[in-house]
Amino acid sequence: MINDLSLTYQIGQRMMAGFDGPRLDEAFINLVKTWKIGNVILFAWNITDKEQLRELCQEIQQLVLEETGQPAFIAIDQEGGAVSRLPGDATRIPGAMAIAATGDPDNAYAAGRITALELRALGVNFNLSPVLDVNSNDANPVIGVRSYGEKPETVIRFALPMMRGLEDGGALSCGKHFPGHGDTSVDSHLALPVVDKTMDELRRIELAPFQAAVEAGIPAIMSSHIVFPQLDPELPATMSRKILTGLLREEMGFQGLIMTDCMEMKAIQHSFGTVKGTVEAAKAGADLLLVSHTASLAAASAQAIREALEAGEIDQAEWERSLERISALKKKYLNRPADNPSIVGCSAHAEENRKLLERTLTPIRMSGGQFPPLGDSPYFIGCAIFRATKVSNLADDPLTFPAYMAEKLGGRAEVTPSNPTEDEIAAIVARTTGASCIVIGTYNGHLNQGQLELVNRLASQGVPVIAVALRNPYDLRHLNPAIWSLAAYEYTAQIFDAVANVLQGKSEAVGKPTVTILSE
């Protein structure tokens, strides 16, 4: 039994850590050897291609098994769409809001199953998905398209099939971010948000998907770094015993694994400190403590947990129950045989995903059920992708919407600033003279109003304008009604191909929005 292990080994089983780069580094190796860290999280910067990822996971398992005697949870945020860690030679499913736009929960199941099969074949066994947040705040900078929609029933309808798909594909799933990150206007990666709702309001909206997931048997739930004053006026959910134990465990009946969001996020680091926050999360009832990036902080947190245990500040019986939960889930999920790596990015998955992507495209304004012809001189405009939130991948991709579309469909291309000024807007509009049609891609334009001003100014030229929202569809809410508009939900080559097919009339955009864009 794990609870027979020495204290260092026990602490290592309760923690999850990460490292920079595509190879195990010395600091991380020393962390595992010293503190017997038993679980690892991977990010996009750890991954270059599917073969490298498979070899890295093998190295991780070898290191952790040698040092701890137990296999490792290897976790990843493979939500799909805007939050995708898998490399380009794997299948990258659409994100939550895009899948919900198809109107068919079977698509969420299929997306989960494909993802789990490929993760398992590569050596990843724990997917930090589905997102159970209800995106009821359109100014939310961190959730947005990561949510299935603005109503709890929509989230439940699609998140639970995603969970089942991950389960049937052999991966551990994790609902997040309890008790709900959907009604914030602050990114908890950067600061500490506050959601001051009554318990009745929380039960009706935020908590409903989590309660449904608990009842459906979700194996793990991740806590959020948000203060809910009506639940605990002093501490964020991650550090609150009232929320993690009183609400989630005792009132809602969750018996699975509670894990924290990363304790290095500024909501915790700047307000409480990573080390103190990690100890308090353990006291609050979290089973798995996530320190994602810095080996020295993970080591300091492990030492502080040891001191708290030795001082009797952490309940011993509760500590042992956490170890038992971790052990049980490792036995259940980590001994399952994985598919042959050839399944990763295979033609069958690619074709299923291509069809799914096309069904996500959501027309917001169309005249006569179709978009205008591009003509012989289309002009493609839009900003390059940028890191809209810390949870997004680093924005170092040379891919741009305008250049890609012009290369594919002909015409001219111009990459614009992410929030153009009045002078820049005037200059861009002047350069579109002679265009037969203008296609502009927006990226979080609702939070960068210069983009939307540019779209509306372009519409005054007397030339057809098509706006394509390449992240949050809220961009399309305040556009001139004469502008054709399409929600595409992600900034990737695969969605650009799907958009190109719609613009050429080769396929039809059939998605339905799950958030309010236009008033009735």
Catalytic residue positions?
A: 261
Kindly give the pairing relationship between strand 172-173 and strand 126-127.
parallel
- Backbone angles phi and psi of 133, in degrees to 5: -70, 140
Provide the token pair at 261: 């969001």
Instruction: Give the count of alpha carbons within 13 A of 449, CB side only.
Output: 3
H helices, E strands: number in the chain:
18, 15
Angle 131-290-337 (CA atoms, 0-180°, nearest 5)? 70
| Residue appearing with tokens 């305040």 | 478
Provide the token pair at 250: 């005792």
Q: Measured between alpha carbons, how far is 340 from 466 in angstroms, rounded to an integer?
A: 43
Q: Which residues contact 335 (CB under 8 A, 6 or more apart)?
A: none
How far from the centroid of its chain's Cα atoms is residue 27's Cα? Answer: 27
Q: Is the dihedral of CA 236, 189, 309, 65 positive or negative?
A: positive
Give, in order, the Cα–Cα distances in Å from 185 to each of 193, 267, 436, 475. 8, 13, 39, 16
Q: Which residues contact 457 (CB under 8 A, 6 or more apart)?
A: 425, 426, 429
Q: Which residues contact 203 (CB under 8 A, 6 or more apart)?
A: none
Q: Which ranges of 123-257 would DSSP assign to H, the alpha helix?
A: 152-168, 199-204, 207-215, 241
Q: Which ranges of 383-448 would DSSP assign to H, the alpha helix?
A: 401-409, 422-431
Provide the token pair at 369: 């059920």
Q: What is the DSSP letter of 242?
A: I
Q: Which residues contact 503 (CB under 8 A, 6 or more apart)?
A: 371, 374, 409, 439, 466
Query: For residue 41, which of 30, 28, 52, 50 has the smallest C-alpha distance?
Result: 28
Residues β-bridged to residue 469: 442, 487
Q: Which amino acid is located at 13 in the chain?
A: Q
Provide the token pair at 202: 């929380």
